[in-house]
Amino acid sequence: MRAMVLPRFGGSNLFEMHELERPEPGCGEVLVRVVASAVNPIDAKLRVDGGWAKLDPPVILGYDVAGIVEEVGPGISDFKIGDEVYYTPEIFGNPHGSYADYNVAAAAIVAHKPTGLSFVEASAIPLAGGTAWEAVVRRLAVRPGETILIHGGAGGVGSFAVQFAKAAGARVLASASADNQNFLRQLGADVTIDYRKDDAAEITLRETYGYGADAAFDIEGIDIVARCLPAVRPFGRVACVLPPQGDLSPLYQKNITLHGTFLTRERRRLEEMRPLFERKQVRAVIDTVLPLQDVGKAHDRLDSHHGRGKIVLQVESDR
């Protein structure tokens, strides 16, 4: 099989096309023919140095899959050859990601692909969509009539978060660059914020008549959580995907609950999300589609931080 191998940690120019033996599924596993694989910011971090995730080059990166079951291992009864599936492979200690023609995964983390979606669209969902679902729906438990502030609403995770919050019946305030203000409105944001010139906390308090948002979700990191705490009401909720920095004392002063969000792999979450995509209530936003061999260009796009939605590698013709 073809695979884009990273021989050592470093720059986006290091990926090499190799011909490798096709993997075989073990007990409780499925072999999936990869049709499309999305690229995520975590891929770029692992490319630079994946030692923290117990990776040792040479490795195959890639943690979003949409494809077709090619073979099932012993003990598998819920999938059969030819099933269309999607999932996000494990990261820690897994040197065999999805930048390849085939990927082996535990059946417990694989789900049937949403009907009506192309493989490219489906591949964009598991990691970023799953992270947004975990934060907005499960952790923050956003409800109809509530207000949520989402920092970084135009990226892969953020574009899903805005749509999930809107589908839940919330009023959505979202931040992004000036170029992405209209895009945020297209996703369903009620109020858009230019993070370069606007004070998100000030706007949120104004829009909530001084009461504050019921919840906030930070995808950007650095000191964003600390800066948005003044915008969250007492006994409100905040979720983040990166370690928070800065003065977090308002958490205690206002009895705010902070949820750290690191995505675990499971089938149930994929099944929970699937109906929203099948009903067209939420869509996967695709920034760029590139062939597998251009994974270096995909990482350059990631490193530029100018993407809108997801970058996807087309591994096989999307039939």
CATH (domain of 169): 3.90.180.10
- Asked whether residue 179 falls in the same domain as residue 293, the answer is no
In angstroms, rounded to a whole number, what is the distance separating the alpha carbons of residues 86 and 202? 41
- Model confidence at 190, in pLDDT bands (50, 70, 90)? very high
CA distances for 226 relative to 10, 151, 236, 308, angstroms: 32, 12, 14, 25
Pairing of strands 84-87, 111-112: antiparallel
Neighbouring C-beta atoms of residue 168, cutoff 10 Å: 18
Is residue 273 assigned to a domain? no
Mean pLDDT of 240-252: 90
Structural domains of the chain, count? 2
| Full domain range(s) for residue 255 | 128-260
- Asked whether residue 210 falls in the same domain as residue 305, the answer is no
Please check whether residue 17 is in contact with residue 293, taking contact to mean a CB–CB distance below 8 angstroms. yes
Note every long-range contact of 252-261, with CB atoms under 8 Å and residues 24 or more positions apart, other chains counting.
Answer: 254/229, 256/229, 256/232, 258/225, 259/135, 259/139, 259/140, 261/131, 261/134, 261/135, 261/139
- Asked whether residue 156 falls in the same domain as residue 218, the answer is yes
Is residue 154 assigned to a domain? yes
- Model confidence at 307, in pLDDT bands (50, 70, 90)? low
Mean pLDDT of 138-144: 98
- Asked whether residue 87 falls in the same domain as residue 114, the answer is yes
Measured torsion, CA atoms of residues 195, 239, 85, 93, in degrees rounded to the nearest 10: 100
Is residue 267 assigned to a domain? no
In angstroms, rounded to a whole number, what is the distance separating the alpha carbons of residues 174 and 130? 19
- Asked whether residue 88 falls in the same domain as residue 121, the answer is yes
Mean pLDDT of 228-241: 95
Please check whether residue 188 is in contact with residue 237, taking contact to mean a CB–CB distance below 8 angstroms. no
pLDDT, tens only, 100-122: 999 999 999 999 999 999 999 99
Mean pLDDT of 251-269: 95
Handedness of CA 210, 216, 219, 223 (dihedral sign): positive
- Asked whether residue 189 falls in the same domain as residue 225, the answer is yes
In angstroms, rounded to a whole number, what is the distance separating the alpha carbons of residues 11 and 49? 10
In angstroms, rounded to a whole number, what is the distance separating the alpha carbons of residues 164 and 55? 33
Q: Above 60 in pLDDT, residue 215?
A: yes
Is residue 271 assigned to a domain? no
Is residue 274 assigned to a domain? no
Residue 318 has a pLDDT of 57
- Asked whether residue 121 falls in the same domain as residue 179, the answer is no
* 3-class DSSP state of 128: helix
Is residue 212 assigned to a domain? yes
Query: Residue 68 pairs with which residues in a beta bridge?
Result: 33, 84
Mean pLDDT of 214-243: 92
What is the value of pTM for the model shown? Answer: 0.94
- Asked whether residue 98 falls in the same domain as residue 29, the answer is yes
Is residue 270 assigned to a domain? no
pLDDT, tens only, 1-51: 999 999 999 999 999 999 999 999 999 999 999 999 999 999 999 999 999
- Model confidence at 123, in pLDDT bands (50, 70, 90)? very high
Mean pLDDT of 144-171: 96
Residue 222 has a pLDDT of 82
Per-chain mean pLDDT for the chain: 95
Pairing of strands 29-39, 102-106: antiparallel
- Asked whether residue 254 falls in the same domain as residue 138, the answer is yes
Q: Above 70 in pLDDT, residue 277?
A: yes
- Asked whether residue 134 falls in the same domain as residue 256, the answer is yes
User: Which segments within 185-306 are labelled E, that is strand?
Assistant: 191-194, 213-218, 232-240, 257-260, 286-291
Is residue 276 assigned to a domain? no
- Asked whether residue 133 falls in the same domain as residue 247, the answer is yes
Please check whether residue 27 is in contact with residue 65, taking contact to mean a CB–CB distance below 8 angstroms. no
Residue 289 has a pLDDT of 96
Q: Above 80 in pLDDT, residue 319?
A: no
In angstroms, rounded to a whole number, what is the distance separating the alpha carbons of residues 102 and 45? 23
- Asked whether residue 113 falls in the same domain as residue 144, the answer is no
- Model confidence at 221, in pLDDT bands (50, 70, 90)? confident
Please check whether residue 258 is in contact with residue 139, taking contact to mean a CB–CB distance below 8 angstroms. no
- What is the token pair recorded at 139? 């952790």
Mean pLDDT of 245-252: 90
- Model confidence at 220, in pLDDT bands (50, 70, 90)? confident
Query: How many Cα atoms within 13 Å fall on the side-chain side of residue 20?
Result: 19
In angstroms, rounded to a whole number, what is the distance separating the alpha carbons of residues 187 and 226? 26
Percent of the chain as helix, strand, coil, to the nearest 5: 30, 30, 40
